[in-house]
Structures are given as structure tokens and as C-alpha cells.
Structure 1
């Protein structure tokens, strides 16, 4: 059992599907995704369904209204199949929780699906729905996309509204996942735009994304080849380098880079993430805390040890780093990297055995820096290891340049179609072409 879902809404899904069928028969469809089955992560409010955050500390209480992202998908006619698994409050890069147990990789059930949107990735990989709504605060869309061989896009911060606000603050994004880049583009267009329920969003609207020709010739790529912590697994490195070489052969100009302030980023992220964990745990009754994930409690304890001065200094350092990343992406059209430095490892563990890592943050240091800088990043399938486990490639762009990232990813998908269809034919919903 892969354990992708916490709730399956049989009756609601059938009713929505029948309504969509009637609309299509009358030529009154609401959008290109009217009638398309989707899933929603068990951290996002979905009217009428029990959102439990993977926690034994939450009670049965059906959501009274939809989050803005769910509201937009429902208004477009999407058929909500149910809620997908997450670690407790989405706190780590694998998917297991006290409430729902262990979620497993569809390519090898003894291995982890990654997280925290692991249930969404499993559903995407196995065809249990076409579009999948997750969240990403440190890699939670891109890590499971890489481990499960699907597409996951963390948008520019603020492009998709978040409500209610996360205790993890401006690290947290609501994000789409699917089998193909075209599906992700269509989903992101529906999700994008300002909601008055999310004060952190900019008041300006984001333009839609439309398909256009893309040529790799002359594209300037910064190849981020080494993560903030540890080495890259030799198989992952070889697979990614072969793809980088293919992009160079297609005409891209590739230069190796390091991120600005790279050595200090893990501590910067921890200072934000652990404080968020502490704030989340502070809202839980002390008796109920005894049933929480011990790792989450340990992270919260570290967060409580940080002073307000420590946190303020970290925010200043983050602002300086973000400005340097904006400058870096003014020099390069794209930054490309492995999505994760390692291949999927044993399910039920937070870190792989015999690697020397002590937390998920250490092996996920290709993803969390882009949450700190708030730039768009898309993970696409890049190949498989000798054990048949997926490896992901990450495209990163300038803030607001989601279209550049996704059109490059779409071109890459067309170059390497077999990487996207290796589990059977997907259902690609194509983005509209530019007028």
C-alpha cells in the first residue's frame, strides 16, 4: 500500500463529475480542466473534508470553506477526489506521520516518496488524478516530484495565495504537481492571482503563462552543481551531468556556479524553519503534544532557543541573500541543478542510512535556498538510477519569471519525452499558445 490519501470523497467526486459531464454535453464547460480529477494536500482547507495536517493533535472538523487555491480549482470545474498525505504539519522532507503512517514510493514501495507533498506525488505518478495541489516550504513539492518521477513547480512567492497564513511565514508556497509540464502550466494559471485573504501577496496581478517557441541556443545557464551540504550521489551527478551536456549540445551556454552566501544558507533556513515549528507547536495543547512527531518537537525546541534578535538578524541576512540571488538571475537566464543530491532512500526514515546526515535539511540543500530567495523553481524527471529510482532536474528563474522557467521545462520535456511517459501515457493538458 502506497498510502497516498487521507480522505477519498467518493460521493462528492461523483457528483462533481456528473455536473461536469452535463456542462460539456451542453457546450458550457467552465474551463480546460472542467471535469478533470484533482487532489488536495491534507494541509489545505477543502470545504466539507476533514483537514487533519497529519496530526493526532487535530480533531474531526470539516472545513467550513475552501482555501483560495481550492476555491479557484473548484470554480474551474475540477473534480476533487480527496486529500493526500503529508508529514505532521508539513514539517519535513519525507512523508510519514503519527496519524497516517508511512507513504511509499510508487517505483519501489520500500523507499520513501519524499515530502512533504508525498501523497500528491504518489497520486500523480500512479494516475490517481491528473492535477495535484501541494505546498512547498523547503522543497516539499520538488523533493517528492524528484523521488517519484513527476513534475512539481514552486512558483514565485505570492503568485498563488496562501490562506490561512503559515507559521513558516514567507517560506511557504502553495504549488502545483502533475505528470507533465503542460498540466502544471494550466493548473498554475488557474491558481495565480491576488486574493484579499492573503495579505502577503503583492497587489499586482501575475500575467498568464502561454506556450511559445523556445530555443536553447544562446540561453545562458548557471549550473549549480554542489549543494550547500554534502556531496552529490555519484549516480545522481552522472544523470544530471548527461542532461546538462545535452542542453549544451542544443546550444545553451553553461557555466558552473555557486550560490551567493551558500555556506551560511543552512543556518539561515534553520533559523526560519525552527521558529515556525515552535510557533506551530505552541498552538497545541500540552497533553496533545505528547502525540506529535518527536522530530517536529525537537525542531520546535530548537526554535524556542532562538532569541528575537537571532531571528531578526536572520531576516536581514535573508534579505541580503535574496538581493544577491536577484542579481545572479539577472546574469543568467536559468540556474539548473539536481533537485535532490541523493536518490530515494528507505521509507520510514528521515535521513538515509550511512550518509552522515542528521536532518532532512542537510540532504535537501538544493531546494530550501530557493524558498529563502522566493524564486520560481520546477523539478522535472531527469532519469533513473540502476535501481530504477527517479532523479529530478531543477530549473530556477528570476522572481516573477515563472513563464521562462516553465517554457524551458516544456522544451526539455519535448526533448526527453520518454522520461515523462515511462509509466504509461499521461493525460497532457496543453497550455494555450500565445496569440
Structure 2
């Protein structure tokens, strides 16, 4: 065979099979990924930095292990990217900001450390908006990251670079973070799979500026590869006092068990969503119905909790204010004006407001737990609209007002509740852009969310691109 002819289409699992049979090497695969990054990067702008030298050195070490039949972990030799919001030894952590240091990090964050220990080949770090503040992907540091389906649209954010790289298979495993939708928004807008695991399942250090809203998880072209990556990322790390200390499950086990007999709630509006495109809602509803065809019991129902928007905004804006107040006046002049504006808004909240929001958050979480007393899973549309215009914070038509949270009403509730939630592509809108379904599980049931996503994917393969359009 022409050994490199199909590399750009291979999944992580297929690459591991090739490594095992010595029909491809990690070096060949890494070179192919680096070549395609060089070719596509001027059009999509998904990377803050590409570390070709380190990637090839890691690939050569992996190749030597595979030749001896001694891989060191589940992801040995697999090209991987890391979002530039966590530390990776030898590269700076810039947070999409001109105000951060270009000094390389001294060590790896927990998820990075676990992936490195298992042989991952790191290609580089991916883009995000400044401090991950919006559901789009543009920043003062790197400019606009563009959606490969339509370069005039955003990838979504804040893990926008990771999603674009996943869609084009610029590496097969992609690290993301999610404090109000930052894995699931770009997964939906680009048509890849992403999961926000239960809070604490993936350790974090240093702690996220978004505190207990923030989760870390994988984005990939398919569910099986994401399950593989999560099995590694979720291993414990003592540096995070809030993280789980139990061994990480192998999320590939039971992945093919299907959804027959499960009770599933379908909530197209969550009881408070007012605006959703008709074609998007119809596509998501059709996907929800497919679970009944797979043997699940699907019923339309809304959770009994209130609209959680004000809870989220109180927490989000307060934390943003703290980040911005720590900057010097000179640094603030170099920051995203939109981020500065929400930080200024956040200064209006008192400590009492913040604590009261946390109390209301607990009540909202309990409402969701009551739903899961009756239902194994909850399905919703992932986004009410397809990808918005690149470089904008809100859609140009103005129907969602000035706050980006208004056009992402399905994501942040499950950061407040800390439940596992995944975005699975389920079709296309009338404008040809991807539409996604959200699958939500009870706390700790990441395995069930992945199993349901895989059941849907098995009959509805995820569409891919081999190069950007336009």
C-alpha cells in the first residue's frame, strides 16, 4: 500500500492498529499532520504554536517503542493538541492574551502529564478567545480562528482551535476546556464530537480562573477516540484537591452496549429557551427520535428548575472582574474590549451576590437531579443556531442582544450542575452548517453519555472534511 495515502482520514483507533502491525509509524503520521497544519493554518488559524521539532522527537521515541512491541500507554504515538489555557512544559501558556508571559511553562498540567506519560505526541497548542471569555474564537493575541465548513463563520469557542483541528484531523486527539460551553459550542459549530465530563473527573492544576464551573475534556472526530482520550486524561493527580481520586475507567468498555431500555428525556427548550431556528430544532428533534428507534423510551419533558442565566452571569462576570482587576492599567489597554466590559459589569456584584448565586446554583442542580431520578439521560439541541459570523461576539442579525450567553442557552446549565454533557453532530442546517444534539447524564455517568453518543453515531456517522472550504 501507499503507506501515507489515507493518513488524513484515519481515526486514533485505526492508527494504533497500524502501529501494532507496523504498516505505519508514528513518525510518518506526525509528519503528515505537520504538513497539513502548515498547509491549512493560514486559512483557519487554529494554532498558537506548532512545535514540530518536539513532536518529531516524541514520534521517533514512540516508533522505537512500537518496533520493540512495547508501547507505554493507550495513546502512544497519537498526534495530540492542547488548548493554550493549560500548562505544557517547554511552551508558554498565553490564554489568548497579549498580557501574559511568553516564558515557557516549567511543567505539565495534569491532563497533559497523563497524556505524555502514555506516549501522546504533542503537535502544539490551540487557539482560544482571551481567557476563554466568549463562545466565539478570536483574541488580541492570535486574531480570528475560522470554521473549516465556511471560513466566514466562527468555530465557536472557547476551544475553537481544538475543534477546527479535530475536524480537519490535524492530530486525532484534542484537549479542550469548558466553563459555560467551551467544548460543546465549538464541537457543535464544527460538527465534531466533544464531551464535558463530570466536574473533577479530569484534574486541573493550576486551578482554572473559572473555578468550579470549569471542566476539561476531549474533542475528536468520533466517540471512540474521545473515549480513549478521556480514559487517559481522567487519571488522578494529587495537585487538584477537588478532583476525583478514584482510578479512571476505561471508557471504551461497554461503549457498544447501546441504549435499549433506557429512559430518556427530550427537552427542546429546557423550559426557558425562547429562540431557536426552526430547521435546527427539527434536526435535533429527529435525532432525539432516533433514540426511540434504538430501543430507548423517549419522552418530551422539561426540568422543573428556573432559567439559570442570571446565576451563571453573576458567577461569570464576578470572576472576570477579578481577572481584569489583577492587570495593570497598561495591560488593560491591550485586552479585548468585550472582556473588559463584562469585567466592569462584574465589579457591580457584591460578595453577597456571589454567595447567593452559589446557593441558587445548588437549588438548580437539585432540580436536575430530580429529573434524573426518572430519566437516565436528557437530550436537548446543542445550539439554537448554526455558527455565527467570524469575529463577532453575537450574531449580526441582533436577535440575541449584546450578550453571547443569550445564543448558547443549552450549555451553561450543565456547568452549573457539573453534569457530564456531550455534543454529537446530528445533521446540517439549511445554510449547510452543522447541527448538534446534546446528551446529558447524571453526575458521574460519563460512561452512559459516551455509550449513548456511540449508539447514535453507529447509525449516523459523523461527516468530515479533508480540507477547509472556501
Shared fold per TM-score greater than 0.5? yes
Residue of structure 2 in register with 1:128 after alignment: 170
Secondary structure of the structure 2 residue equivalent to 1:210 = coil
5 Å matches for 1:108-257?
Answer: 108-212=150-254, 213-227=256-270, 228-257=272-301
Secondary structure of the structure 1 residue equivalent to 2:260 = coil
Residue of structure 1 in register with 2:139 after alignment: 97
> Unpaired runs of 5+ in structure 1?
426-435
Q: CA–CA distance in 1 between the matches of 2:347 and 2:265?
A: 38
Residue of structure 2 in register with 1:59 after alignment: 101
Q: CA–CA distance in 1 between the matches of 2:186 and 2:46?
A: 12
Q: CA–CA distance in 2 between the matches of 1:329 and 1:12?
A: 46
Change (3 A) 1:326 1:51: same
> Are 2:321 and 1:304 aligned?
no
Q: CA–CA distance in 1 between the matches of 2:443 and 2:121?
A: 31
Change (3 A) 1:188 1:370: same
Residues 101-120 of structure 1 show CA distances to partners (whole Å, capped at 9, x for unaligned) of: 01110100001100000000
Residue of structure 1 in register with 2:66 after alignment: 24
> Are 2:129 and 1:87 aligned?
yes
Secondary structure of the structure 2 residue equivalent to 1:86 = coil
- Deviation (angstroms), 1:421: 4.0
Residue of structure 2 in register with 1:430 after alignment: none
Secondary structure of the structure 2 residue equivalent to 1:254 = strand
Residues 83-141 of structure 1 show CA distances to partners (whole Å, capped at 9, x for unaligned) of: 10000011110000011101110100001100000000000001111000010000000
Candidates 374, 382, 392, aligned match of 1:331: 374
Candidates 367, 388, 396, aligned match of 1:353: 396
Residue of structure 2 in register with 1:77 after alignment: 119
Residues 283-326 of structure 1 show CA distances to partners (whole Å, capped at 9, x for unaligned) of: 21221011111111111111111011111111111111112212
- Deviation (angstroms), 1:206: 4.5
Contact (CA 8 Å) 1:230, 1:362: kept in 2 or not?
no
Q: CA–CA distance in 1 between the matches of 2:48 and 2:464?
A: 27
Aligned length: 422
Q: CA–CA distance in 2 between the matches of 1:175 and 1:165?
A: 15
User: How does the TM-score come out when normalised to structure 1?
Assistant: 0.94
Q: CA–CA distance in 2 between the matches of 1:281 and 1:336?
A: 36
Deviant stretches of 4+, over 6 Å: none
- Deviation (angstroms), 1:385: 1.6
Residue of structure 1 in register with 2:324 after alignment: 281
Secondary structure of the structure 2 residue equivalent to 1:134 = strand
- Deviation (angstroms), 1:51: 1.5
Contact (CA 8 Å) 1:229, 1:362: kept in 2 or not?
no
Residue of structure 1 in register with 2:444 after alignment: 400
| Cα RMSD after superposing both structures | 1.4
Secondary structure of the structure 1 residue equivalent to 2:176 = strand
User: How does the TM-score come out when normalised to structure 2?
Assistant: 0.87
Q: CA–CA distance in 2 between the matches of 1:31 and 1:94?
A: 34
Q: CA–CA distance in 2 between the matches of 1:386 and 1:201?
A: 42
- Deviation (angstroms), 1:168: 1.2
Q: CA–CA distance in 2 between the matches of 1:61 and 1:297?
A: 24
